[in-house]
Amino acid sequence: MATPQITVQLYSVREQAGADYEGTIRAIADMGFRNVEPAGFPGTTPEQAAKLFKELGLSAPSCHTGLPVGDNKNQVIETALTMGHKYLITGCPPNFREDFATADTVKKTAELYCEAAANAAEHGMQVGYHNHDWDLCAVGDTRGYKIFLDNTPDTVLWEADLFWVCRAGLDPVAFVQEIGVRGKCLHFKDGAVDQEGTFTEAETEDGKIMVSNDKPFMPAGTGQVPLKDVAKVMSHTEYVAVELDSYVGDMMQAVAESYTYLTSNGIAVGAK
């Protein structure tokens, strides 16, 4: 398998982008990124972002977005077509933790993702799920994510967030092997896995997100997540994403340090 391409989840730089979207994206491109993963378009529009990306030679193969179902279907698909997305991934499921509360709710969630996947497939796209830690926890005598996987085809992707996999007490190496062909996009998020903190939900214009009262996230290669070990077992991964939910220091510097670590160690390739 070819070495995955590096990308960056733009949620990481949401504050910078909200203040100066164009300047932030230009700085990202200057770091060597040739791919980005948008999560909304703070301070701009999809049309303006697409024009800027084209100018800079950036692609956005994946994104975080809502599911293309119901009233949101056309808007999600139209934005994806404008941006050239292939993989439409949810940052959180529509009802957040409620969707993984019981086996029945997980099955209903899986049905919704199957519907979304069928809608996306008409346009040559795939739908995917990005995990936190609570969706990996026990539901009855199994784990929530296992019920989801059992009730969706493997064309529904699973964007494993390695920090949250570790936070849930799971082995990220075994997890990436378990999701197999679903793991086309992975978040190589690093940090202090054992750091205490309370994670709660918050509403934004782009949906619900996780907010922490601490900042355990760190540049790739400086935390407790065994990124190199996971890289050894990637067999279906096309894109490795840099992401930090928050950071105590300079976020742009943390993104740049993550780029250098992942590319210099042969985990992913960029333009530099």
Q: What are the chain's domains?
A: 5-264 (3.20.20.150)
Which pLDDT does position 195 carry in this prediction? 72
∠ CA 26-59-238, rounded to 5° = 125
Q: Which two tokens stand for residue 100?
A: 């993984």
CB 171, CB 193: distance < 8 Å: no
Judged against a pLDDT cut of 90, whether residue 160 lies above it is answered with yes
Judged against a pLDDT cut of 90, whether residue 212 lies above it is answered with no
pLDDT in tens, 9-64: 999 999 999 999 999 999 999 999 999 999 999 999 999 999 999 999 999 999 99
Question: Of the ranges 81-90, 145-154, 165-174, 188-197, which one carries the lowest mean pLDDT score?
Answer: 188-197
Which pLDDT does position 215 carry in this prediction? 79
Q: Closest by alpha carbon to 162, among 180, 185, 181? A: 185
237 CB neighbour count, 10 Å cutoff = 23
Q: Which two tokens stand for residue 28?
A: 């990202």
CB 140, CB 159: distance < 8 Å: no
CB 95, CB 66: distance < 8 Å: no
7: left (phi over 0), alpha (psi -120 to 50) or beta: beta
Query: Could you give the 3-state DSSP secondary structure of residue 64?
Result: strand
Could you give phi then psi for residue 209, rounded to 5 degrees?
A: -135, 170
∠ CA 193-194-196, rounded to 5° = 110
Judged against a pLDDT cut of 60, whether residue 205 lies above it is answered with no
Residues 6 or more apart whose Cβ sits within 8 Å of residue 83? 38, 46, 49, 50, 53, 60, 63
Can you give the pTM of this predicted structure?
0.93
> Strand runs (DSSP E) across 58-178, as ranges?
62-64, 87-90, 126-130, 138-139, 142-143, 157-159
Distance CA 212, CA 214 (A): 5
CB 10, CB 39: distance < 8 Å: yes
Which pLDDT does position 146 carry in this prediction? 98
Could you give phi then psi for residue 233, rounded to 5 degrees?
A: -105, 0
pLDDT in tens, 61-114: 999 999 999 999 999 999 999 999 999 999 999 999 999 999 999 999 999 999
Which pLDDT does position 214 carry in this prediction? 63
Distance CA 121, CA 119 (A): 6
Distance CA 54, CA 47 (A): 11
